[in-house]
Structure 1
């Protein structure tokens, strides 16, 4: 695959989860959640890497990724920033797209469109995402930034939240050099939640996949489906996102 800009998607994944243990390996329709996530990312036609931990409990993630021919980097459980840095460094990535594995219906085509916008800017200090100004449902999240910004965060970030959540040092512009860019859509659909963190989230995603084949739908089609079915939205409407 041609990748002249050395762009890669790094997805963080681990088995331990306080609210829904083992969530990324839970089966839906005969496949683990992680497989839907990876298949959706591969629609972007960009290389995908998994950054997991050195914990023995994450051996199943490593085994699954290897079976799918997805490269894996293993590092510190708490210092996720170091995991991203080492994964990007070892794979010579100049531009990193950060996603999380609890988004099984993430849209690779959305990521492709965002990468096109990012690439046109020709700005290594640009942080570009659909997370800070949120118009897409939670579950389609991605962040795009240069290795230069990641490297600076790796060497200079010190707060636990900066290490665990990878990008706060960058998107809070601690260096004073970062330019923020926002990938948005005209209509705000941020009230919808299609990420996996609780049993209620799992139930919604299970129904979307098993009854509506959402794994084959675009982000716009999934949003349209939720617009038409408020009873589905209510399944996890009360779930609160964990704070950084």
Structure 2
């Protein structure tokens, strides 16, 4: 008898604090807060059993909790600076077997990309500890489609053993920087679009996202391939935020937590 598949739980980290664009998760995008855009797009992924917003206990994040409550989103409040701890306790509370890490500043996150990444994780034999479509060795998907899937056991090991503030802040480095201990796989697309910025760290990024949603008439059921076609037809979109600094692996600085 085949054992039942353990729940796949997406956890979207979101907080009001941001050094470059404070309050960005509540920024309006075609009539809805950015966080709502992220949650509603991600929730369409067929491989997810549930989706949780993980915010903090800081009073400034009461607004995030209120948004979740009013929209019927499941949410968890945890440590503001120790994001690994926040993830671990959210995963435990919602009985996650596999955790899909997403962030609240990626309003073009694509359910199809989530599904493809999760399926690679679920179908691997022997199993992976972590599958991600962005790692230090490169990415092929635009910045803003970032999807990381790890086992609860790997997350728990990181939570128990990590003492590095960077690892506690960025959740999964303890795993993907220890390939001698963990099975890690980089999921790549057929073409390289890794230079495109579809995330929101600065005002220029937000303008790009607003133009994308305006192009689709405020809908959010478009695919990332449709957005890619839009960028090909209108190269000026990529120019708008081309100067925004992207903080890569081991380059992120304190204060930029989501």
Classify the TM-score, shorter chain. over 0.9
Distance 1:159 1:116 in 2: 31
Distance 1:98 1:57 in 2: 22
Q: Which moved more, 1:191-200 or 1:205-214?
A: 205-214
> C-alpha root-mean-square deviation of aligned residues, in Å?
1.5
Name 2:192's counterpart in structure 1.
188
Distance 1:145 1:208 in 2: 31
Name 2:28's counterpart in structure 1.
27
Tell me which of 102, 105, 108 is aligned to 1:102.
105
Name 2:182's counterpart in structure 1.
178
Matches within 5 A, 1:79-228: 79-132=82-135, 133-173=138-178, 176-213=180-217, 215-228=220-233
- Corresponding residue SS for 2:36: helix
Matches within 5 A, 1:37-76: 37-45=38-46, 46=48, 47-76=50-79
Q: State the Cα deviation string for residues 143-187 of structure 1 (Å, max 9, x = none).
A: 00000000000000111100000001011017x321121211121
Tell me which of 235, 238, 241 is aligned to 2:240.
235
Distance 1:107 1:115, change over 3 A: same
Distance 1:222 1:36 in 2: 15
Aligned length: 241
What TM-score do you get using the length of structure 2 for normalisation? 0.90
Deviation of 1:124 after TM superposition, in Å, equals 5.0
**Deviant stretches of 4+, over 2 Å:** 122-126, 211-216
Q: Which moved more, 1:97-106 or 1:212-221?
A: 212-221
Distance 1:152 1:126 in 2: 11
Distance 1:123 1:43 in 2: 28
User: Are the equivalent residues in 1 in contact too, given 2:121–2:127 (CA < 8 A)?
Assistant: no
Distance 1:16 1:180 in 2: 31
Name 1:36's counterpart in structure 2.
37
User: Are the equivalent residues in 2 in contact too, given 1:124–1:145 (CA < 8 A)?
Assistant: no
Deviation of 1:122 after TM superposition, in Å, equals 4.4
Deviation of 1:190 after TM superposition, in Å, equals 0.7
Is there any run of 5+ residues in structure 1 with no aligned partner, and where?
A: none
Report whether the alignment pairs 1:12 with 2:52. Answer: no
What TM-score do you get using the length of structure 1 for normalisation? 0.94
